[in-house]
């Protein structure tokens, strides 16, 4: 056998001219590679037959096909053997051609006869997992001659046949080559005994070994094709990173298809203004999938960036993206966790080795210096999806929005920013116009959201609350008289501060607790109840200590007095606990109620919620629209939702500037009117509010 010192794809068939002839004369073969897949055996079949008949033995070290789930599990300390077993079985479970199955059968027979041993290797350094990329091999024949080689090819169809590869060969009997060949053999031995620093080398999983042995027993050895026949597996058998695809279980609704079509017609830019609960997330993923298909036809990768305001929304998005076939990178908390993954996947995409790179970031991590540096260097097609996109209109985030994003999609039930026309305009300037709108009424009518009843509860302020309310109203009237505009009041202005104080008095009105107690008493046997409390503590007059937190008062009432199983869900609740609480709530046999402030406002998916108690008094349309949306999502067995809204008002005859109070009350009644007009019992709402409207001459509302 004549061997050259180098084999290269531009001059010869590396498999046919080097590997197969070497197998025919060798008695042992030791190989360490980046990847090993079953398809490579079909290419080696001719050489392996003779190799096996002569009693040849093989040792193989390879990097298993670890997906990102596997890597994360290893880094989190999951059972290493279980993860490797899962990864190996996943490779063997892939659909194989008859030629590959024959090769696997031969592999199984070699294992059963004790002439093949396999180990799996990967990088494990400083708590992080990486791919073992080194590629070395050693052949020895019956008289002790040694041939060692290094090269770029993996033991895969792509590495051996499809790619352009080269192999450097060191012949033990040639001056200058012998020392190098022996050094490579020593390196392999160090690997095999798991003594190489920063590498973990593990036994091949027993379950996978047994499966191969059984395949070898079940498949009758056939005469393998001759030297002149090309054993080339179909290209579909080559490992490919996952691409986006619409899951088989998902039924795309007509309005979702219409929304995606509208976005594509606007060159992949625009805002989807869709009622909370109508499936904005899935609509966005359908759009991303369609875009990915178009780019794939152009042989271009897609970089998908999803930006959400809070970590629990990032977690929900990750689950959604995984449902479409891709494991995204979570970009939040410590950058040491996500930055290497981001850089590695973007590099693979640039090399054409990855069709999709998906990242989901919190607003804060997205706008941070490290991630902004990564974004600025992306030259591939980039799609940014802004969830609850109204948040991105703030001055903090406007400058962070990547100008190199060719495709842009904003999602929000309420894209208009409250008292911030400039911020709203900046969103439209960046993402594009509202290209599709699905209002709540239409969503209920078409069955995308559930029907609901709206029950407003009027509660009078007590004497102390009334006194504080009168004082704040007088200060508000003075501000308006001096030229401040109630309509355009900036929340951070002096007038805005007074309005927040006034809203605090209304939101924390003591009478709401008595009304809530009565309503909860009537629904003590119901499950799936949400109670929204006012933020902070009960306001007090200047010089006095603020009162208790409403959320604590409600928890005491619900748990200790009414003996209902409930739990608070607030900003201090750890993220891991939140998932557990939502799961307990959804079972319908554990927690009857969740008591929250603002944490259930944006994006939390709790479709089972059926009854909502709104103690907080907010005229911000976004807040009450989102809270209503939490309750209107569809769920099995859910026929309708019930919303109880507690509206605090001063007693009749209270001496307050009539015009100012009337203008302020309009803001409160707008919420009640918005809730009531789409409910099943609008007439009841009108009847309850009639006395208040008559008192302030607002019957035309």
**More confident position, 408 or 425:** 408
pLDDT of residue 48: 65
Task: Taking residues 472-476, report their average pLDDT.
Answer: 88
pLDDT at res. 541? 75
What integer pLDDT is reported at residue 380 of this predicted model? 93
End-to-end CA distance of the chain: 97
pLDDT digits (tens, 9 = 90+) for 586-599: 898 999 999 988 76
Query: What's the pLDDT at 202?
Result: 87
**Listed ranges 126-135, 154-163, 179-188; the one with the highest mean pLDDT:** 179-188
| pLDDT average, residue stretch 614-640 | 79
Q: How many angstroms from the chain centroid is the CA of residue 310?
A: 12
The DSSP 8-state label assigned to residue 589 in this structure reads: S
Tens of pLDDT, residue by residue over 210-257, are 888 888 888 766 544 443 333 333 333 334 457 899 998 899 999 999
Residue 130 has pLDDT above 90, yes or no: no
Give which of 677, 263, 253, 210 is closest to 433, Cα–Cα: 263
Q: Write down the mean pLDDT value for the chain.
A: 83
Angle between helices 658-677 and 463-481 (to 10 degrees): 110
- Max distance between CA atoms of the chain, in angstroms, equals 112
DSSP per-residue codes, 102-169: HHHHHHHHHHHTT-EEEEEEEEEETTEEE-----EEEEEETT--EEEEEES--BSHIIIIIS--EEEE
**Any long-range contacts for 248-254 (C-beta under 8 Å, 24+ apart)?**
250/282, 250/323, 252/286, 253/279, 253/448
Tokens of 508: 């924390």
Structural domains present in the chain: 6-225 (3.30.870.10), 256-445 (3.40.50.300), 451-695 (3.40.50.300)
Q: What is the Cα–Cα distance from 642 to 644, expressed in whole angstroms? A: 7
More confident residue, 379 or 132: 379
Per-residue b/e over 341-370, b at no fewer than 16 CB within 10 Å? bbeebbeebeeeebbbbbbbbbbbbbbbee
CB neighbourhood size of 658 (10 A): 11
Record the tokens describing residue 472, joined without a space.
């704040």
For residue 326, give the 3-state DSSP assignment.
coil
Q: Are residues 610 and 529 in contact, defined by beta-carbon separation less than 8 angstroms?
A: yes
CA-nearest of 192, 149, 138 to 29 is: 138
Distance CA 2, CA 195 (A): 35
Mean of the pLDDT values across residues 547-561?
Answer: 92
Helices (H) and strands (E) in the chain, counts: 26, 22
Q: How many residues does the chain have?
A: 701
Reported as a pLDDT band with limits 50, 70 and 90, residue 308 is very high
| Measured distance CA(59)–CA(29) in Å, rounded | 6
Give dist(CA 389, CA 412) in Å, integer: 6
- Determine the Cα–Cα distance for residues 496 and 563; give it in Å rounded to an integer: 39
User: Alpha-carbon distance 102 to 164, whole Å?
Assistant: 27
DSSP letter for each residue of 525-585: T--SEEEEPPSSB----TTSPP--BHHHHHHIIIIIIS---EEEE-TTS-HHHHHHHHHHH
For residue 21, what pLDDT band results from cuts at 50, 70 and 90? Answer: confident
pTM: 0.61
DSSP result, 38-70: THHHHHHHHHHHHHHHTT-EEEEEEE----HHH
Residue 574 has pLDDT above 90, yes or no: no
């Amino acid at each position: 056998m004549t061997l050259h010192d180098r084999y290269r794809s531009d001059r010869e068939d590396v498999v046919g001219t080097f590997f197969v002839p070497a197998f025919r004369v060798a008695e042992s073969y030791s190989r360490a590679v980046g990847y090993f897949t079953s398809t490579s055996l079909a290419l080696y079949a001719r050489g392996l037959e003779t190799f096996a008949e002569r009693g040849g033995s093989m040792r193989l070290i390879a990097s298993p096909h670890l997906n990102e789930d596997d890597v994360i599990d290893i880094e989190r300390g999951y059972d290493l053997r279980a993860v490797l077993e899962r990864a190996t079985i996943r490779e063997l479970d892939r659909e194989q051609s008859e030629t590959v199955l024959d090769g696997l059968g031969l592999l199984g027979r070699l294992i059963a006869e004790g002439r093949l041993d396999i180990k799996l290797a990967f990088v494990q350094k400083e708590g992080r997992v990486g791919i073992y990329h080194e590629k070395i091999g050693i052949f020895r024949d019956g008289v002790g001659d040694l041939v060692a080689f290094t090269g770029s090819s993996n033991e895969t169809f792509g590495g051996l046949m499809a790619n352009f590869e080269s192999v450097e060969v060191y012949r033990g009997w040639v001056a200058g080559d012998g020392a190098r060949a022996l050094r490579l053999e020593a390196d392999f031995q160090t690997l095999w005994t798991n003594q190489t620093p920063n590498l973990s080398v593990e036994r091949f999983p027993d379950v996978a070994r047994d499966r191969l042995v059984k395949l070898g027993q079940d498949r009758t050895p056939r005469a393998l094709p001759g030297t002149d026949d090309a054993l080339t597996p179909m290209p579909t058998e080559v490992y490919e990173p996952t691409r986006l695809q619409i899951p088989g279980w998902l039924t795309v609704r007509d309005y979702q298809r219409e929304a995606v079509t509208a976005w594509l017609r606007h060159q992949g830019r625009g805002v989807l203004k869709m009622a909370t609960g109508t499936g904005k997330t899935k609509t966005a993923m359908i759009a991303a999938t369609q875009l990915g298909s178009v780019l794939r036809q152009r042989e271009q990768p897609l970089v998908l960036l999803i930006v959400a305001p809070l970590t629990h929304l990032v977690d929900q998005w990750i689950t959604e993206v995984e449902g479409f076939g891709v494991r995204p990178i979570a970009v939040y908390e410590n950058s040491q966790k996500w930055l290497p993954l981001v850089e590695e996947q973007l590099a693979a995409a640039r090399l054409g080795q990855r069709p999709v790179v998906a990242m989901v970031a919190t607003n804060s991590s997205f706008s941070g210096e490290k991630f902004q540096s990564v974004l600025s260097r992306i030259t591939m097609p980039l799609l940014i999806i802004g969830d609850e996109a109204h948040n991105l209109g703030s001055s903090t985030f406007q400058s962070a929005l990547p100008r190199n994003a060719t495709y842009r999609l904003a999602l929000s039930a309420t894209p208009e920013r409250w008292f911030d026309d400039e911020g709203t305009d900046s969103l439209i300037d960046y993402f594009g116009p509202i290209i599709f709108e699905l209002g709540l009424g239409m969503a209920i009518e078409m069955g995308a959201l559930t029907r609901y009843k709206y029950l407003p509860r009027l509660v009078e302020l007590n004497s102390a609350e009334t006194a504080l309310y009168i004082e704040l109203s007088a200060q508000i009237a003075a501000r308006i008289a001096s030229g401040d505009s109630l309509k355009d009041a900036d929340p951070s202005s002096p007038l805005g501060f007074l309005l927040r104080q006034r809203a605090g008095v209304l939101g924390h009105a003591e009478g709401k607790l008595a009304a809530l107690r009565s309503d909860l008493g009537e629904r003590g046997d119901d499950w799936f109840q949400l109670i929204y409390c006012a933020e902070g503590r009960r306001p007090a007059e200047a010089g006095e200590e603020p009162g208790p937190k409403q959320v604590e008062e409600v928890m005491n009432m619900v748990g200790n007095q009414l003996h209902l199983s409930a739990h608070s869900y607030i900003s201090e609740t750890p993220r891991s606990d939140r998932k557990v609480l939502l799961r307990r709530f959804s079972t319908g046999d554990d927690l009857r109620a969740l008591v929250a402030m603002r944490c259930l406002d944006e994006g939390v998916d709790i479709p089972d919620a059926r009854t909502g108690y709104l103690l907080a008094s907010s005229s911000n349309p976004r807040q009450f629209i989102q809270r209503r949306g939490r309750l209107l999502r569809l769920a099995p067995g859910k026929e309708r939702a019930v919303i109880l809204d507690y509206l605090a008002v001063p007693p009749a005859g209270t001496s307050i500037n009539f015009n100012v109070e009337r203008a302020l009350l309009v803001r409160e009644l707008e919420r009640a009117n918005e809730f009531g007009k789409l409910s099943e019992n609008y007439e009841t709402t009108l009847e309850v509010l009639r006395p208040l409207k008559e008192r302030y001459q607002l019957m035309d509302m």
